[in-house]
């Protein structure tokens, strides 16, 4: 049974071995660039960890793990354009290094590549795997649309936001685990628990990401700290603060989030309101709730090979980037 570090090295090695045509260079160089930026490789690792719960020979799950990672990076290329994000993993985003058109077309190619990789499974399970992958892929797009809608929508609720991050982030983690289980021969009940584990872990992960976006360290985080505030994103932190704010605080939040001001002064002022309302701690409490639900689902799975998943979830709770 392989550790997180061994699985991460394996994924990076396999991604590095993918060969792209030399031309057209503006189509394939950005793909190679974005995949070379690294990252946690969380999603493909989850595919392999779920597989080795039931079958330690993970070779037959490699292509699906790569598919999930390529698909995830495709979404990042397009998300960065929509968010006009300057940095990804501490480096220039593809649309900044090249341009929007290059990022769109390279991303489209990655989507096709992901579909090709996900079909490299045994014929007896290909329909099952594709059904899980396709459902998650569509939900990720739905989540991204809701995320953009919320930027101009004035009546976003906390349940609305939690549903959005479930689709945009959490469902792909659930799908990654379920696909790993399918390939390893997991039962329908075990697949259900795997998906629930990943979905709840994904909710915790995204809420931690939101918290770090406001209160993380820029060097550790690898992205612009305060970016969500600058972009007027109605994250859980903002929505919870707005619900708890007094009249003056609510008026200030509304004013800050109705302008195109991207200054550090705005970021600091909003963070002060968040801190005064104990929003970091309240967010951390919700993260712990989702993590606890994930642990319940993991406990329901009948396997003696859970240690890597337990270690992985612990890393998530302790992460600073």
Helix pair angle (62-83, 25-36), 10° resolution: 100
Give the side-chain half-sphere CA count within 13 A for 168.
21
pLDDT tens digits for range 169-186: 999 999 999 999 999 999
Predicted confidence (pLDDT) per residue in 73-123, tens digit: 999 999 999 988 888 888 999 999 999 999 999 999 999 999 999 999 999
Q: Residue 242: pLDDT above 80? A: yes
Tokens linked to 269: 């002022």
273-286 confidence digits (pLDDT tens): 999 999 999 999 99
Q: Which residues pair with 92 in a beta bridge?
A: 87
pLDDT of residue 279: 98
CATH code at 4-318? 1.10.600.10
Higher pLDDT, 250 or 86: 250
Which residue, chain included where needed, has tokens 């939101």? 210
Query: What's the confidence (pLDDT) of residue 191?
Result: 98
How would you class 217 by CB atoms within 10 Å of its CB: exposed for 0-12, middle for 13-18, buried for 19 or more? exposed
CB distance 73 to 66 below 8 Å: no
**DSSP string covering 184-222, please?**
HT--HHHHHHHHHHHHHHHHHHHHHHHHHHHHS-HHHH-
Query: 144-160: per-residue pLDDT in tens?
Result: 999 989 988 889 999 99
Q: Is the pLDDT of residue 161 over 90?
A: yes
The vertex-111 CA angle with 95 and 141, nearest 5°, equals 80
The CB density around residue 40, as the number of other CB atoms within 10 Å, is: 16
pTM (predicted TM-score): 0.92
Q: In the chain, what are the domain boundaries?
A: 4-318
């Amino acid at each position: 049974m392989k550790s997180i570090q061994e699985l991460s090295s394996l994924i990076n090695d396999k991604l590095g071995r993918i060969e792209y045509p030399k031309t057209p260079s503006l189509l394939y160089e950005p793909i190679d660039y974005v995949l070379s930026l690294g990252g946690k490789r969380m999603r493909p690792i989850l595919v392999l960890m779920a597989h080795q719960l039931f079958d330690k020979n993970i070779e037959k799950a490699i292509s699906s793990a790569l598919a999930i990672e390529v698909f995830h990076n495709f979404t990042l290329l397009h998300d960065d354009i929509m968010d006009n994000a300057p940095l990804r993993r501490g480096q220039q985003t593809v649309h900044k290094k090249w341009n929007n058109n290059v990022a769109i077309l390279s991303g489209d190619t990655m989507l096709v590549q992901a579909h090709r990789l996900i079909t490299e499974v045994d014929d007896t399970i290909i329909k099952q795997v594709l059904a899980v992958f396709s459902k998650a892929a569509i939900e990720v797009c739905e989540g991204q649309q809701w995320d953009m809608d919320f930027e101009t929508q004035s009546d976003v609720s906390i349940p609305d936001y939690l549903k959005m991050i479930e689709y945009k982030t959490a469902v792909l983690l659930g799908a990654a685990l379920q696909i790993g289980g399918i390939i390893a021969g997991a039962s329908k009940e075990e697949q259900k628990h795997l998906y629930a584990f990943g979905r709840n872990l994904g909710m915790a992960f995204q809420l931690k990401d939101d918290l770090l976006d406001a209160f993380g360290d820029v060097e550790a985080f690898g992205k612009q700290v305060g970016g969500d505030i600058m972009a007027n994103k109605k994250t859980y932190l903002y929505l919870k603060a707005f619900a708890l704010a007094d009249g003056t605080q609510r008026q200030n939040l509304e004013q800050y989030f109705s302008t195109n001001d991207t200054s550090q002064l705005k970021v600091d002022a909003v963070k002060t309101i968040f801190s005064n309302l104990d929003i970091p701690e309240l967010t951390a409490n919700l993260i712990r709730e989702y993590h606890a639900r994930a642990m319940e689902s993991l406990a329901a799975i009948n396997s003696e090979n859970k240690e890597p998943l337990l270690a992985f979830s612990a890393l998530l709770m302790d992460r600073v980037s």
